[in-house]
């Protein structure tokens, strides 16, 4: 799928969290939501990104923003990752990368000259009506939260 743009409807999702509970985009209707995609739990960049969301939880809440992280990891890997870093927000399992594809966060990547298909680290701020406020593809882990907070101020 093509990249999402400001004003697009955020693709609906229904994914299992670390505990096996179904989480849907529609569960967050009436609230802003930071949706971010990361390649693999407990790797350096993904840990930086997740911990920055955790550390900014009060600031995000003050701005009315909830957060979910989505990766192709199995729920048991998410349980370990969330527990190890006491993340405190839902991590969702997208093993067949259907949701990542719908958001344009799945594609060809190059690492050390080798091409492969995988999650393209991306983040999206979704408004209370389910519309994309802003989208960041190939986002740096440490930029996820500042980008979302800055975009929320434009509403």
Nearest residue to 19 via CA among 68, 70, 73, 91: 91
The predicted model gives 81-88 an average pLDDT of 97
For residue 109, the cross-strand partners are 116
Q: What is the pLDDT of residues 7-24, one digit of tens each?
A: 999 999 999 999 999 999
Tokens encoding 37: 């995609």
Nearest residue to 7 via CA among 113, 117, 130: 130
- Catalytic site residue 14? no
- Return d(Cα 94, Cα 81) in angstroms, integer: 15
- Return d(Cα 142, Cα 138) in angstroms, integer: 12
- Whether 1 has a pLDDT exceeding 90, the answer reads no
**Which of the 8 DSSP states describes residue 126?**
E
Q: Where are the domains of the chain?
A: 14-152
Q: Which CATH architecture has domain 14-152?
A: 3-Layer(aba) Sandwich (3.40)
The model's confidence at residue 151, banded by pLDDT at 50, 70 and 90, is very high
The catalytically annotated residue of 33, 41, 46, 53 is: 46
């Amino acid at each position: 799928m093509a990249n999402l743009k400001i004003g697009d409807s955020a693709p609906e999702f229904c994914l299992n969290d670390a505990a096996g509970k179904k989480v849907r985009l529609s569960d967050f209707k009436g609230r802003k939501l930071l949706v971010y995609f990361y390649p693999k739990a407990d790797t350096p960049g993904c840990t930086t990104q997740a911990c920055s969301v955790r550390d900014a939880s009060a600031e995000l809440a003050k701005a009315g923003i909830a957060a979910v992280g989505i990766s192709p990891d199995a729920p048991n890997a998410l349980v370990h990752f969330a527990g190890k870093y006491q993340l405190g927000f839902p991590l969702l399992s997208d093993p067949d990368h259907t949701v990542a594809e719908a958001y344009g966060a799945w594609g060809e990547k190059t690492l050390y000259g080798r091409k492969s298909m995988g999650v393209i680290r991306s983040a999206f701020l979704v408004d209370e009506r389910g519309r994309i406020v802003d989208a960041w593809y190939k986002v740096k882990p440490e930029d996820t939260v500042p980008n979302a907070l800055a975009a929320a101020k434009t509403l």
